[in-house]
Structure 1
Amino acid sequence: MEKYVKYSEEVKQAMEAGKPIVALESTIISHGMPYPQNVEMATTVERIIRDNGAVPATIAIMDGNILIGLSEEELERLATAKDVKKVSRRDLASVVADGSIGATTVAATMICAEIANIAVFVTGGIGGVHRGAETTMDISADLQELAQTNVAVVCAGAKSILDIGLTLEYLETNGVPVIGYQSEAFPAFYNRDSGFGVDIHATDAEAVASTMKVKWDLELDGGIVVANPVPEESELKKEYMDGILEQALREADEQGVKGKDTTPFLLARLKEISEGETLKTNIALVYHNAKVGAEIAVAYNRK
């Protein structure tokens, strides 16, 4: 397995020194926002993680290698390349095999983080059960990965374009603990409160790290969702989001947008309709998750 994995010098040194490491996905760079804003966001997230005592490891696929940590040149290449493949579990082997450039989703990043023995992963929001999934069966691979892969995922909950109630039911069925970080409500990405609760309320990073350690000491395989609400000053109110989401969903239906094209379409339309406000909130919550994720990685590393 290791012959397919290449570590950056920073990550390699951190591993040798026993320092805490935080994994980062790369689809937000290649598919989440335009250049050069994507590079600025990625470098800021890495700096926040370093400032809070951990080492960042942005994960991507290039030239037949799974990269654990990117150099400045590799980050620039990922951010500017055309036709970067979006890689989930089903795509990982083929993209490594054909030597193309791939950006890892939540599911693929979890797989690569576990290969590299990295226990904490920071992202924006997890995928979930899509609205209408009772007929379309459109369920994100992120959920199945959380059911089987031993990584704690720090996120701002699930995007409000999803069916959050069914997403939480799926996680419960598969034994995935959902920890509310300093919150008893499960967040809906742009909103701090989706209207649904969490399984566990953690007051600090130490409490999350303790749950992680005991869970995996007991060989209870699978991930953990650490739901960290967007900062209050960056929240977009539920009533506002419901209104623009209803418009975006209607447009998707009218244009026949389905399957894997649905999420990118909806996120792009939300950004346009909100005149960039949803993107600002997205960036703010990723920065906040980076800080919390680094604190959890430091606490877990002490254990």
Structure 2
Amino acid sequence: MVADLAHSWLICSAPVAAAQAAGRPLVALESTIIAHGMPYPENVRTAREVEALIRDLGAEPATIALIGGRIRIGLSDDELELLGRSGQAHKVSRRDLPVVLAGGGLGATTVAGTMICAALAGIEVFVTGGIGGVHRGAQETFDISADLQELAKTSVAVVCAGAKSILDIALTLEYL
């Protein structure tokens, strides 16, 4: 791994660092889908397939996670396996980043968490299946994903299919 000289808590993999140095395109990927969204081994297999598709199109994938008190930008096969198998990864959004980093824990980044980490690493494009939004029943629970606020705060282009279908789509669109 190659450490960013300014931030020892932000570590880019050698392929990501090489792509940055060469001016090649980078694509950020979240890790929550690996740790929380799919069962093992489909989760790791899918992550590898998505990374291969991005490479085939000429860009370098940068799957993002928190491991051992560091933000990891670009994961090795062993790190993907760790996320996919552990069952112990924290789900990391904006509010969770400092706690998981300081505690040295294992964390899988949500859309919001990935956007923040990608911006810190200088990655301008992030691809995901769907963003969070306003949850059904939010009139009583006030359950609104941090993803929506992050879209307004963080300068990273998010390419996705839209808000996740389990959400209140009408209220999510109104909120946006």
TM-score by length of 1: 0.55
- Secondary structure in structure 2 of the residue aligned to 1:60: strand
What CA distance in whole angstroms lies between the structure 1 residues aligned with 2:148 and 2:94?
12
Percent of counterpart pairs with the same letter?
A: 67
Q: Secondary structure at the match of 1:91?
A: helix
For structure 1, the residue ranges without an aligned partner over 5 or more in a row are 172-303
Tell me the number of residue pairs that the alignment of Structure 1 and Structure 2 aligns. Answer: 171
**Alignment match, 1:11:** 16
- CA distance in 1 between counterparts of 2:87 and 2:148 reads 28
Report the equivalent of 2:56. 51
Q: Deviations over 1:94-123 (max 9, x none)?
A: 001111100000000000000011111011
> Aligned equivalents of 2:88 and 2:43: distance in 1?
16
RMSD over aligned CA atoms reads 0.9
Whole-angstrom CA distance in 2 between matches of 1:107 and 1:134: 22
Letter in 1 for 2:73: I
- Superimposed CA distance per residue, residues 190-234 of structure 1 (whole angstroms, 9 cap, x where no aligned partner): xxxxxxxxxxxxxxxxxxxxxxxxxxxxxxxxxxxxxxxxxxxxx
- Partners in 2 of 1:96 and 1:27 — Cα distance? 16
Residue identity matched to 1:159: K
Structure 1 position 58, deviation (Å): 0.2
**TM superposition shift of 1:28:** 0.3
Structure index of larger Rg: 1
- 1:2 Cα deviation after fit: 1.9
Aligned counterpart for 1:111 among listed residues 113, 116, 132: 116
Give 1:78 shift.
Answer: 1.2
Whole-angstrom CA distance in 2 between matches of 1:83 and 1:115? 25
Following superposition, the deviation at residue 134 of structure 1 comes to 1.7
Quote the offset at 1:35 in angstroms: 1.1
Letter in 2 for 1:134: Q
The unaligned stretches of length 5 or more in structure 2 are: 1-5
Q: 1:141 aligns with which of 120, 135, 146?
A: 146
- In structure 2, distance between residues paired with 1:53 and 1:103: 25
| TM-score (norm. length: structure 2) | 0.94
- C-alpha displacement at 1:168, in angstroms? 1.3
User: What is the DSSP-based 3-state SS (H/G/I as helix, E as strand, rest coil) of the residue aligned with 2:38?
Assistant: coil
How far residue 82 of structure 1 moved from its aligned partner, in angstroms, is: 2.7
**Aligned match of 1:155:** 160
SS of match in other structure, 2:37: coil
Offset of residue 4 of structure 1? 1.0
Question: After TM superposition, what 4+ stretches of structure 1 lie above 2 angstroms from structure 2?
Answer: none
What's 2:169 paired with?
Answer: 164
Q: Equivalents in 1 of 2:81, 2:166: separation in Å?
A: 30
Q: Distance in 2 between matches of 1:80 and 1:26?
A: 13
